[in-house]
Structure 1
Amino acid sequence: MKYTFEVITSPDMLWDKMASCYDHTVFKSKNWANFLKEFYKVAPFVVAVSEKEKEIGYFYGHKIKKLGVPIVASPFEGWSTSYQGLSMLKEITVNQRLDIYEELIAWLFKNKHCRYFQVSDWQLEVAECLHRNFTIELQKGYVLDLTKDKEELYKNMSYSSVRYSINKAKKKGVVVKEISDVKEYAHEYYKQLKEVFQRQGLAPTHSMEQTRTMLQHTFSENMVALYAVNPEGECLASAFFPYAGNYGFFSGGASYQSAQSYCPNELIMWNAIEMLKDKGVKYMEFGGGRRYKEKYGPTAYVKPKIIASSLPWLIPAKAFAKSAFYAVRKIGALLKGKSVNEGV
Structure 2
Amino acid sequence: MGGMKLIREVYTGVDWPLLDSFSDRTFSQRKAWIDFVCETQAGDPVVARIEDAGVTVGFFVGVIVRRMGFQILGSPFPGWTTPYMGFNLRHDVSRADAVDALIRYAFCELGCHHLEISDPYLTGEHFRDVRVKAQLVRTFRSNLLMTEDELFARMDGGGCRSCIRKAARSGVVIEEAAPDGFAAEYFTQLEDVFDKQNMRPTYGMNRVEALIRHVYPTGDLLLLRARDSDGRSIATGIFAGFNDISYFWGNASLREYQIVRPNEAMLWYAMKYWKRRGVHWYYWGGDGAYKKKYGGDTVIYQQFRASGSIVTSMLRDAGRMLYYAPGGWNRRIFNLRSRADPSIARRDGFHAMIK
Higher mean C-alpha displacement, 167-176 vs 324-333: 324-333
Q: How many Å apart are 1:322 and its aligned residue? A: 3.0
Q: 1:67 is aligned with what amino acid?
A: M
SS of structure 2 residue aligned to 1:182? coil
C-alpha separation between the residues in 1 aligned to 2:255 and 2:105? 51
CA displacement at 1:115 relative to structure 2: 1.7
**Gaps (5+ residues) in structure 2?**
337-354
- Which amino acid in 2 is paired with 1:55? T
Aligned with residue 194 of structure 2, among 185, 194, 197:
197
Match of 1:263 among 257, 261, 264: 261
Q: 1: distance between equivalents of 2:44 and 2:180? A: 24
Deviation of 1:331 after TM superposition, in Å, equals: 4.9
TM-superposition CA deviations, 1:12-64 (whole Å, max 9, x none): 43221111111111111121122223333323201111112110001110122
Q: Is the CA contact 1:227–1:268 (under 8 Å) kept in the aligned structure 2? A: yes
Q: Report the secondary structure of 2:198's partner residue.
A: coil
Give the TM-score taking structure 2 as reference length.
0.87
Corresponding residue of 1:210: 207
* The 10-residue stretch of structure 1 (61-70 or 115-124) with the greater mean CA deviation from structure 2: 61-70
1:245-269 per-position Cα deviation (integer Å, ceiling 9, x unaligned): 1111100111111111111011001
1:186 matched residue in structure 2: 183
Secondary structure of the 2:14 match is helix
CA contact (8 A) 1:201 1:333 kept: no
Q: Which residue of 2 aligns with 1:86?
A: 87
CA deviations 1:53-104 (Å, max 9, x no partner) are: 110001110122212222111112211111000011x2247xx212211232
Tell me the SS of whatever aligns to 1:204.
Answer: coil
Question: Structure 1: which 5+ residue stretches go unaligned?
Answer: 336-343
Paired with 2:223 and 2:64, the residues of 1 have a C-alpha distance of 30
Cα displacement (A) at 1:328: 2.5
Q: Corresponding residue for 1:302?
A: 300
* 2:347 equivalent in structure 1: none
3-state SS of paired residue (1:287): coil
In the superposition, relative to structure 1, how do residues 321 and 41 fare at CA in structure 2: closer, same or farther (>3 Å)?
Answer: same
> Against the structure 1 CA distance between its residues 81 and 255, is the aligned structure 2 distance closer, same or farther, given a 3 Å change threshold?
same
Cα 1:25–1:195 shift into 2, 3 Å: same
In the superposition, relative to structure 1, how do residues 42 and 331 fare at CA in structure 2: closer, same or farther (>3 Å)?
closer
Where in structure 2 are the equivalents of 1:110-129 lying within 5 Å?
A: 110-126=108-124, 128=125
1:202-248 alpha-carbon deviations (Å, 9 max, x no partner): 11011112101111222231111101001111111111111111111
Amino acid at match of 1:257: R
**How do 1:319-338 and structure 2 match up within 5 A?**
319-326=317-324, 327-332=328-333
Aligned to 1:16: 17
Give SS of 2:322's match.
Answer: helix
- 1:246 pairs, out of 244, 247, 251, with 244
Cα distance between partner residues in 1 of 2:163 and 2:103: 48
Question: Contact between 1:5 and 1:48, CA under 8 Å: does it hold in 2?
Answer: yes
Aligned with 2:163 (options 162, 165, 169): 165
Cα distance between partner residues in 2 of 1:293 and 1:144: 11
How many residue pairs align between the two structures?
331
Letter in 1 for 2:80: W
- Classify 1:51/1:333 alpha carbon distance in 2 versus 1 (closer, same or farther; 3 Å): closer
Percent identity for Structure 1 against Structure 2? 26
**Preserved CA contact (<8 Å) 2:163 2:265:** yes
d(CA) in 1 for partners of 2:169, 2:71: 55
Q: Is the 8 A contact 1:196 1:254 kept in 2?
A: yes
Counterpart code for 2:246: G
8 Å CA contact 1:227, 1:239 repeated in 2: yes
Given that 2:38 and 2:63 are in contact with CA atoms closer than 8 Å, whether structure 1 keeps it comes out as no
Query: Shift in Å at residue 285 of structure 1?
Result: 0.8
Q: Which amino acid aligns with 2:81?
A: S
* 1:113 CA drift (Å): 2.8
Residue 136 of structure 1 aligns with an amino acid whose one-letter code is: A
Counterpart residue number, 1:136 = 134
